[in-house]
Amino acid sequence: MITMTSEKEIMKALKKVIDPETGIDVVTMKMIKSAKTGAKGNLKIKFKPTTPFCPMIGYLSEQMEQVAKSVKGIKKVEVEVV
C-alpha cells in the first residue's frame, strides 16, 4: 500500500509535467483530478485537459506515466482522461 508520503511524492513528480501550450505544470493548472494508489504499486491518475479536444492529451498522458513511475513503489500507471 502506498503511504501518504508517497502520494505527496506523486504530486511532486507530476509537477514536472509541463503543458507545452501554456508552460505551466499540470498540478498547478488543476488538471489532476485524482491520483489513487492501489495494491502492488498500481496508480490510477484521472486528469482533465484544458479543452476536450486538446491536441496534447497523448503527450501529457505519456509524460504523467513516465514521471509517476519514477516514484518509489509505483510499478504500473493508468492515466484516464475525464
Q: State which fold the 4-81 domain adopts.
A: GMP Synthetase; Chain A, domain 3 (3.30.300)
CB of 32 closer than 8 Å to CB of 67? no
Q: What's the CA angle centered on 11, arms 79 and 42, to 5 degrees? A: 45
pLDDT in tens, the chain (82 residues): 445 557 889 999 999 999 999 999 999 999 999 999 988 889 999 999 988 889 999 999 999 999 999 998 899 999 999 9
H-helix segments, the chain: 4-14, 57-69
Domain boundaries, the chain: 4-81
* Global confidence as pTM: 0.87
- Distance CA(57)–CA(49), nearest Å, equals 7
